[in-house]
Amino acid sequence: MRNLLYNHIINDFTNHSYKSCLEYFPCDSNILDIGIGNGKMLKTFHPLIRSKQLSITGIDINKVYLKNCKRLIKKYHLQDHLTIYHEPIEYFSPPNNEFYDFVLFSMSFMLFNDQPLILDKVKSYLHPDGEIVFFQTMFKKKSWLLDFTKPKLKYLTTIDFGKATYENEFFALLEKHELSVLQDKVTPRKCGKGEGRMIVARQN
Ligand SMILES: C[S@@+](CC[C@H](N)C(=O)[O-])C[C@H]1O[C@@H](n2cnc3c(N)ncnc32)[C@H](O)[C@@H]1O
């Protein structure tokens, strides 16, 4: 049921996010996908992942989503390209102390209460010229209604949409963490007054 709801509600954003991000990653990239979800994107993007020889480590806290993701990895024979872990980012350490070319937050960054801690953590998992890629809905103007309702949507839908991401606060956070923005792409995906944006940042 959770998986069905998830598919129905965020499928379009998921496809858009992974299309933008997977196209951005160069061939042979090593990627940490934080909050990979149910792997639904694999149905569309398995040929791209394979042809670009991407190596993706996906982590998530939701066992039901990961079970579905595991099933799709098997179905599309992606075992050499995707490894998944049931672990929260707060406790995750890269296996074999490996470093990543990219850390990806596809619609997951807004879920974290302690975003500064998460940024510090993932910065240490990147190669020196590694990049953090965020795909998220961003709002320009503060809205008390949005701040009140968005965190409560999970009680209605069972899906946690986290808190609203405001442009000025998000960029201030990146600056504080000595991350400079390399790319900021507005996509055609809209959610009310929010814009679906892909933002790429690198350590200064
Ligand atoms: C909105 S979904 C996005 C899933 C997928 N990346 C996409 O774009 O469709 C956010 C995901 O983050 C996961 N998540 C939430 N908190 C997490 C945490 N602390 N560590 C790892 N994953 C987390 C959720 O279980 C959920 O699958």
13 vs 165: CA distance, rounded Å = 16
User: Is the CB of residue 107 less than 8 Å from the CB of residue 14?
Assistant: yes
18 vs 176: CA distance, rounded Å = 27
Domain parsing of the chain, residue ranges: 2-203
Instruction: State which of 22, 60, 84 you would mutate to test the pocket of ligand 1, scoring each by most atoms of that ligand within 8 A of its C-beta.
Output: 60
Output the pLDDT for position 187: 83
SS3 for 5-44 is HHHHHHHHHHHHHHHHHHHHCCCCCEEEEECCCCCCCHHH
User: What is the whole-number distance in angstroms between the Cα of residue 107 and the centre of ligand 1?
Assistant: 7
Q: Phi and psi of 134, rounded to 5°?
A: -115, 130
Residue with CA nearest ligand 1 atom 1: 107
Output the pLDDT for position 155: 62
46 vs 159: CA distance, rounded Å = 25
pTM for the whole thing?
A: 0.92
pLDDT in tens, 91-141: 999 999 999 999 999 999 999 999 999 999 999 999 999 999 999 999 998
Output the pLDDT for position 42: 97
Question: CATH fold of 2-203, please?
Answer: Rossmann fold (3.40.50)
Helix axes 63-75 and 42-51, enclosed angle (nearest 10): 60
User: What is the whole-number distance in angstroms between the Cα of residue 113 and the centre of ligand 1?
Assistant: 13
Residues with CB under 6 A from ligand 1: 10, 14, 17, 34-37, 59-62, 65, 88-90, 106-108, 111
User: What is the whole-number distance in angstroms between the Cα of residue 204 and the centre of ligand 1?
Assistant: 27
Which is nearest to 162 in space by CA: 191, 185, 183, 189?
191
Q: How many CB atoms lie within 10 A of CB 144?
A: 7
User: What is the whole-number distance in angstroms between the Cα of residue 137 and the centre of ligand 1?
Assistant: 14
Output the pLDDT for position 9: 55
Please list the pLDDT of the chain residue by residue as tens digits (204 residues): 555 555 555 677 899 999 999 999 999 999 999 999 999 999 999 999 999 999 999 999 999 999 999 999 999 999 999 999 999 999 999 999 999 999 999 999 999 999 999 999 999 999 999 999 999 999 998 877 767 776 766 666 666 678 889 999 999 999 999 999 999 999 877 777 788 999 999 999
User: What is the whole-number distance in angstroms between the Cα of residue 14 and the centre of ligand 1?
Assistant: 11
